[in-house]
Structure 1
Amino acid sequence: MDEASVVLSPREKALRVHERLCAVYGCPIAFFHELDPLSELVSALLSHRTRNADSGRAFRQLRARFVTWEAVRDAPCAEVQEAIAPVTWPEQKAPRLQHILREITARRGGDMALDFLGALPVPQARAWLESLPGVGPKTSAAVLLFSRLRRPALPVDSHHYRVAVRLGLLSARIPVGPSHALLAALLPQEWGAQQVYDHHEVLMLHGQRCCYHQSPACGRCPVLELCPHGQERLRRR
């Protein structure tokens, strides 16, 4: 039977897409760094609406200028803003970052390390992070998955979201924030951090390299048979 004529459940389709894209982009994919969870949180906060190269440069400048995160917390805000100048809206991110660091200090009785999150169930760890001001589901998932904690929490960036919507895994009426729980629910509960990371990475890479925001390359898409959006675009030509 032709794959396009098979009616798949969203979960079945998500796994089929995962397998196909992993074959294309090469899983397992190596984690891009191994920061402690507090450093990962800072990195994620700086990356909001900012190119990776710029947020990475700002993070390195911040670490070079201040020896500890306590020093960042206690520094004059203008100095923190100067250190993170490469990011978008440094004048907003500097005071927000310091506010979050002070909040963590208050909640943890002076201990700013977030390694304790590794001992919590993922939903509980995410809830703790998301109770911090300005921390949403993408950031909480990034802290748990990308840091050295390596917990199976699924971040959804704009590329991942776009691909999921076009594949019909998610309604376009659902915003990115609530999409995290819905897309994570499609993945097997027994998946570990590497599989969850691979899933996030291959959908993101596919959005960057094929399923572009404008003029997606549907004619060479390896999951075209599973994509109603792509099939409809090609029919209209």
Structure 2
Amino acid sequence: MAQLVKSLISSRTKDEVSWPSFWKLVELYPNWRLMAEAPVGEIESAIVEVKFAKDKAANLLLTLRKVAAEHPDFNLGFLGDMSVPDAHGWLERLDGVGVKVAASTLNFSTLNRPSFVIDSHVLRILQRYGAVVHSADSDKAYRAVMGSVPDWSPRRLVELHRLMKRLGQSWCQKLDVDCNGCPLAQRCAKRIG
């Protein structure tokens, strides 16, 4: 549950902002039931620093309440018994949960499932390196990566995510591109600089 909540509030927000917001939520609401019963305004105030705080607060409450209706103990361990595609499907029917949040919930948590997290940095790298077409969205990129590495462990997928994210934050940023300094420039299909 902690990873689901953290992922829901961190979209398009730097970790330096989303982590303090997450910890503030956990401090204010020491269990998921209390958080699910909180007024939306209180949740929004707690996460006001994240981008789209109003929408994220509403989605978070709807998601927590849907989870509570089916699993009052807020234990998502049952997802570990499902196939990864079925677990993705279950998560993606929750408010505000797309492929990125579902993948991070499955892979970055104690569930430890093989699911690749596609954030904006990773998607940009995949597009620029020609691994997916430039118009590919996160869903298409996810399917392409998972189809290419079907036997990779959760740990290898986490490491790939971290390396690609670092590349996207350091050399291959959206606007500030440093192709000359990029360690993978010679392999890039869309070399810009």
TM-score normalised by structure 2 residue count: 0.93
Pick the aligned partner of 1:203 from 149, 154, 164: 164
**Secondary structure of 2:44 counterpart:** helix
Alpha carbon RMSD of aligned pairs, Å?
A: 1.5
Q: Name the larger-Rg structure.
A: 1
Letter in 2 for 1:43: K
Which of 77, 99, 116 matches 2:62? 99
The total of aligned residue pairs comes to 193
Q: Distance in 2 between matches of 1:94 and 1:60?
A: 15
**Matches of residues 209-220 of structure 1 in structure 2 within 5 Å?**
209-220=170-181
Q: Which residue of 2 aligns with 1:74?
A: 37
For structure 2, the 5+ residue unaligned runs are none
- Give aligned-pair identity as a percent: 31
Letter in 1 for 2:184: V
1:141 aligned to 2:141?
Answer: no
Q: Relative to structure 1, is the Cα distance of residues 121 and 54 closer, same or farther in structure 2, using a 3 angstrom cutoff?
A: same
- The 8 Å contact of residues 141 and 153 in structure 1, kept in 2 or not, is answered as yes
Letter aligned with residue 166 of structure 2? L
Give the Cα–Cα distance (whole angstroms) in 1 for the partners of residues 28 and 13 of structure 2.
21
Trace 1:80-91 onto structure 2 (pairs within 5 A). 80-91=43-54
Q: Does 2:130 align with 1:162?
A: no
Q: What amino acid is the match of 1:216?
A: V
Q: Which runs of 4+ in 1 moved over 3 A?
A: none
Match of 1:152 among 104, 114, 124: 114
- Measured in 2, the distance between the counterparts of 1:90 and 1:212 equals 24
Distance 1:57 1:215, change over 3 A: closer
Query: Runs of 5+ in structure 1 lacking a partner?
Result: 1-37
Matched, 1:184 2:149: no
Aligned equivalents of 1:184, 1:53: Cα separation in 2? 29
Q: Which has the higher contact order (CA 8 A, sep 6+)?
A: 1
| Aligned-partner residue type, residue 62 of structure 1 | L
1:172 corresponds to which residue? 134
How big is the shift at 1:222? 2.2
Q: Distance in 1 between matches of 2:184 and 2:43?
A: 45
Aligned mates of 1:193, 1:176 — CA distance in 2: 18
Residues 198/94 of structure 1: CA separation in 2 closer, same or farther (3 Å cut): same
Q: Secondary structure at the match of 1:220?
A: coil
The alpha-carbon deviation at position 94 of structure 1 amounts to 1.7
CA offset digits 1:89-132 (Å, max 9, x no partner): 32222222111111111123x23211111122211111111121
